[in-house]
Chain A
Amino acid sequence: GESVGLHLPTLSVQEGDNSIINCAYSNSASDYFIWYKQESGKGPQFIIDIRSNMDKRQGQRVTVLLNKTVKHLSLQIAATQPGDSAVYFCAENIMDSWGKLQFGAGTQVVVTP
Chain B
Amino acid sequence: GAVVSQHPSRVICKSGTSVKIECRSLDFQATTMFWYRQFPKQSLMLMATSNEGSKATYEQGVEKDKFLINHASLTLSTLTVTSAHPEDSSFYICSASSGGANEQFFGPGTRLTVL
Known interface pairs A98-B49, A99-B32, A99-B101. Does A89 touch B106 (Cβ–Cβ under 8 Å)? no
Is chain A's interface secondary structure helix, strand, loop, or mixed overall? loop
B28-57 interface bits toward A, Cβ cutoff 8 Å, 1 = contact, 0 = none:
000010100001011111100101000000
Residues of B within 8 A of A42 (CB): 108-109
On chain B, the residues within 8 Å of A93 by CB distance are 101
Contact (A2, B39) CB under 8 Å given A95-B101, A99-B101, A102-B46 = yes
Q: How far is the CB of A19 from chain B (nearest CB, A)?
A: 19
**B79-102 Cβ-contact flags toward A at 8 Å (1 or 0):** 000000000000101010101111
Task: Please tell me if the beta carbons of B32 and A98 are within 8 angstroms of each other in the complex.
Answer: yes
**Also in contact, A99 and B109, with CB within 8 A (given A6-B41, A104-B43):** no
* Number of B positions contacting A (CB below 8 A): 30
Cross-interface CB contact of A103 among B43, B51, B91, B102, cutoff 8 Å: B43
Chain A residues within 8 Å of B95, by CB: 43, 101
Chain A residues positioned under 8 Å from B39 (CB to CB): 2
Nearest CB of B to A103, in Å: 5
12 contacts between A and B (CB under 8 A): A2-B42, A6-B42, A34-B103, A43-B106, A44-B106, A46-B106, A97-B101, A99-B32, A99-B34, A99-B104, A101-B34, A103-B45
